[in-house]
Structure 1
Amino acid sequence: MSASVGIVLVSHSPQLAAGLRLLVREIGTDAVPVLIAAGTGDGRIGTSSDLVRAAIQAADRGAGVLVLPDLGSAVLTTRSVLAERQRPDVVIVDAPFVEGAVAAVAAAASGADLRATARSAEEARHVRKL
């Protein structure tokens, strides 16, 4: 099997990101790297460009990396990191945090490429719950 798209969850809250990672790992396989970049370097609520950079590097297995931020400064921090060194194989997606992560991991686990994985995450915005 070829390398899977890596997924990075960027959140203000380490607990939120860890819980979501636990959920999506039940859906995906060990072949889908799901990394988190959450909180500050000293464990407070917030975001850290160093943690985002490290998570992207760790998630990269050769098929690209999808980065999914939760909101606000997580988006700004991610954009800042990606602007430092633009790579076509690392993309940020505008998707709901939980639903987008679930859809992305399911797509990556099925062998989807980076573009299809990103599209799956973004399309999760339109899935109705009720």
Structure 2
Amino acid sequence: MSDGGQVGIVLVSHSREVAAAVAELAKGLAGGGGTAPVAPAGGTPDGGLGTSAELITAAAERVDGGAGVAVLVDLGSAVLTVKALLAEGGELPDGTRLVDAPFVEGAVAALVTASAGGDLEAVEAAASEAYDYRKV
């Protein structure tokens, strides 16, 4: 990994619409146009519900700027798909990491941190800390 780029964010959901909506929400809350790269990878290639290794890999390649890629997921099989891609090696860019974080809050925290120039460890920590956000 080079030190030149920002950490990229991939949002993996079982739904194309959910992944796209969370990406747009995160971009809006992170400041709009000047954000780190973020890409949704939702649903299957034919638009159905599910997860797709192809869509995840393509999204990771799109956001890879050389500083790492943080992947956030919504549900169980999305976790399994990303873990399988990481275990295979070579499918995802070097420095890709599955981040254990709540999907929406974690996506916002990850993108804000990446946009501010945080490295992959800082992005992962910010997203994971979103588990502690209190709503009451």
Taking structure 1 as the reference length, the TM-score comes to 0.93
Provide the alpha-carbon RMSD of the alignment.
1.4
Pairing partner for 1:103 from 93, 109, 119 = 109
Structure 2, gaps ≥5 residues long? none
Q: Distance in 1 between matches of 2:116 and 2:44?
A: 33
Please name the residue that 1:47 is paired with: 51
Please report how far the alpha carbon of residue 30 of structure 1 lies from its aligned counterpart in structure 2 after TM superposition. Answer: 3.7
Residue 117 of structure 1 aligns to a residue whose secondary structure is helix
Please report how far the alpha carbon of residue 83 of structure 1 lies from its aligned counterpart in structure 2 after TM superposition. Answer: 1.1
* Corresponding pairs, count: 129
Per-residue CA deviation, residues 65-94 of structure 1 (Å, 9 max, x unaligned), is 000010111111111111111776110011
Structure 1, gaps ≥5 residues long? none
Please name the residue that 1:80 is paired with: 84
Residue 112 of structure 1 aligns to a residue whose secondary structure is coil
Where does 1:33-72 land on structure 2 (aligned, <5 Å)? 33-72=37-76
Please name the residue that 1:4 is paired with: 6
Q: Does 1:32 align with 2:41?
A: no
Q: 2:36 corresponds to which letter in structure 1?
A: V
Per-residue CA deviation, residues 67-122 of structure 1 (Å, 9 max, x unaligned), is 00101111111111111117761100111000100110111111100000001000
Q: 1:79 to 1:16 in 2, by over 3 A?
A: same
Q: 1:19 corresponds to which letter in structure 2?
A: A
Pairing partner for 2:129 from 114, 123, 128 = 123
Q: 1:6 corresponds to which letter in structure 2?
A: G
